Amino acid sequence: MTKPQLKPLEQDVWGVSGDLTFATVAELLPDFSARIQASGGRSRFDLGEVTRADSAGLALLLEGMALAREAGGEVEYRNLPESLRDLARISNVAPFFDA
């Protein structure tokens, strides 16, 4: 298990790394939510360094979208891992991730 982390990549883009699984997303959620709220709901996250993900990781991303919408903004996810794309497809939420 690799601990998930957020790190700045470039202006207004945060890198997400590590595992986004049932065992790890709870510890990432506070920082993830804080970044979205601090940006006024206009956040960008690069998921290129996510090592593993399950449906809890997908739920985290959907929660991010809901938080951004509540703040009047929109969240953007870059480099979504194939495992999350597959989960989104079978969960019928793939259109939310196609930009």
Q: Does domain 5-93 match CATH 3.40.50.720?
A: no
CA distance 33 to 26: 11
Band of pLDDT at residue 98, cut at 50, 70 and 90: confident
Burial of 7 (0-12, 13-18, 19+ CB in 10 A): exposed
H-helix or E-strand containing 87? helix 82-90
Band of pLDDT at residue 1, cut at 50, 70 and 90: confident
Q: Where are the alpha helices (DSSP H) in 22-81?
A: 25-38, 55-70
Residue with tokens 């194939």: 82
pTM score of the predicted model:
0.93
Instruction: Dump pLDDT digits (tens) for 24-75.
Output: 999 999 999 999 999 988 999 999 999 999 999 999 999 999 999 999 999 9
